[in-house]
Amino acid sequence: MRGYRSIIAVAVILALIPLVVTSNLWLNIAFTALLACLLGQGWNILGGYAGQFSFGHAVFFGTGAYVTAIVMTTTGINPWAAFVLGIGGGALVGAAIGFLVFRYGLRGSYFALVTLAFAEVFRVLANTMAITGGGSGLVVASNLRPEIFQQTSRLGAYAVAAVLVVGVLFITRALENSRTGAYFVAIRENEDAARALGVDPFGFKLRAIVLSAAITAMGGALYVQVFPYIDAPLMYGPRYSVEALLVPIIGGMGTVFGPLLGAVVLHLLAEAATMVTGDIAGLNLVLYGLVLVLMVRFLPRGLIGLFDPRVPKARLPLPRIAGRRRREAGDA
């Protein structure tokens, strides 16, 4: 239980926050930060532990949201069941993408760009298909009763998000202490050496992307229960892909609490920028890009890396590839 005491402490802090914060504005900020933590923790499983950087995690977030919304609008199924189906839909998409990509050995910048392409393909499909509402999006009929999961207040939404985040923290800690987690790290550090030692990179990377997709889709399925309108540019657009990538880089990749810390810091910065400059379209992406550059340049291990030197550095694949090509050109 020693490794889980810190998670229990975080759970207690999250439970005490509503006793101190009663404003719907700040509860909404807390909810969006916890939602970002779910995205970041999903990305962290694949990128932080297994070393497979994705630039298109919105494909899983959007799929979780759309599967949940479509099931609820077409069948009238209980939102609890729709929530589970949304997570399953995201996991299936993760399995399909992982099988196609990892079977052919794509990694590094190639894997990152392929995931970005999949997110764009899903955005185009969702924007044109009738079942997704096309360009008009989908509106989920509200039946706002907490017992069927749809939330009537920001306090209820915050409570559900906090429970999910704590659950994911336990899952991540269990993974970190397991043999599977050790194999993920081995693949991240040196895939060829891991293969030589008998680790199956394809099988374990496939497990990593399925678990990552399921956690990220959980965030999308939760989004629908709180904000009952979705459309393709929002769900599959760059915002959530960038946020999923940025949160663990700020907090510390390959750590249990890095995404939570990164989500809190990022959303406090975003709210501060909004208060100063107003709600300017695209401001959040500009801020995210600036923070990403500064973190990779000055704090490559994230905020947690300031206290723990064992945290891996954030090494984006594209600059590495570009640097290697320059060296190859010089040798030629």
Share of the chain above pLDDT 70, in %: 88
Distance CA 332, CA 319 (A): 20
Measured in degrees and rounded to the nearest 5, phi and psi for residue 63 equal -65, -45
**Angle between helical axes of 283-298 and 238-251 (0-180°, round to 10):** 30
286: pLDDT strictly greater than 60: yes
**Least confident window among 187-196, 201-210, 273-282, 308-317:** 273-282
Which tens digit of pLDDT belongs to each residue from 179-222?
A: 999 999 999 999 999 999 999 999 999 999 999 999 999 999 99
Who has greater pLDDT, 14 or 23?
14
Distance CA 328, CA 323 (A): 9
145: pLDDT strictly greater than 70: no
Distance CA 20, CA 172 (A): 28
Confidence tier at 1 by pLDDT (50, 70, 90): low
Q: What is the number of residues in the chain? A: 332
The predicted structure's pLDDT at residue 226: 87
Confidence tier at 9 by pLDDT (50, 70, 90): very high
Confidence tier at 295 by pLDDT (50, 70, 90): confident
Once rounded to an integer, what is the mean pLDDT over residues 264-283? 77
Once rounded to an integer, what is the mean pLDDT over residues 298-318? 80
Report the predicted TM-score, pTM, of the whole model to 2 decimal places: 0.90
CA 161 to mean position of chain CA atoms: 14
Find tokens 């989908």 and name the residue: 138
**Least confident window among 67-71, 121-125, 135-139, 163-167:** 135-139
Once rounded to an integer, what is the mean pLDDT over residues 284-304? 82
CB neighbours of residue 295 within 10 Å: 19
Which tens digit of pLDDT belongs to each residue from 78-98?
A: 888 899 999 999 999 999 999
Measured in degrees and rounded to the nearest 5, phi and psi for residue 203 equal -65, -40
127: pLDDT strictly greater than 60: yes
Q: Which two tokens stand for residue 143?
A: 């039946």
Confidence tier at 100 by pLDDT (50, 70, 90): very high
Distance CA 119, CA 55 (A): 9
At 90 the three-state DSSP class reads helix
The winner for highest mean pLDDT among 51-55, 152-156, 319-323 is: 51-55
Give the chain's mean pLDDT: 87
Distance CA 48, CA 103 (A): 21
Distance CA 245, CA 85 (A): 25
Q: Are 28 and 274 in contact (CB under 8 A)?
A: no
Which tens digit of pLDDT belongs to each residue from 239-248?
A: 899 999 999 9
Measured in degrees and rounded to the nearest 5, phi and psi for residue 139 equal -115, 120
The predicted structure's pLDDT at residue 323: 46
- DSSP structure string for 117-163: HHHHHHHHHHHH-TTTTGGG-EEPPP---GGGT--SSHHHHHHHHHH
Q: Are 252 and 302 in contact (CB under 8 A)?
A: yes
Cα dihedral 85→230→45→163 (10° resolution): -70
The predicted structure's pLDDT at residue 321: 41
Q: What is the 3-state secondary structure (H, E, C) of 166-210?
A: HHHHHHHHHHHCCHHHHHHHHHHHCHHHHHHCCCCHHHHHHHHHH
Distance CA 289, CA 309 (A): 25
CA 236 to mean position of chain CA atoms: 13
320: pLDDT strictly greater than 60: no
Confidence tier at 322 by pLDDT (50, 70, 90): very low
DSSP for residue 230: E
The predicted structure's pLDDT at residue 307: 82
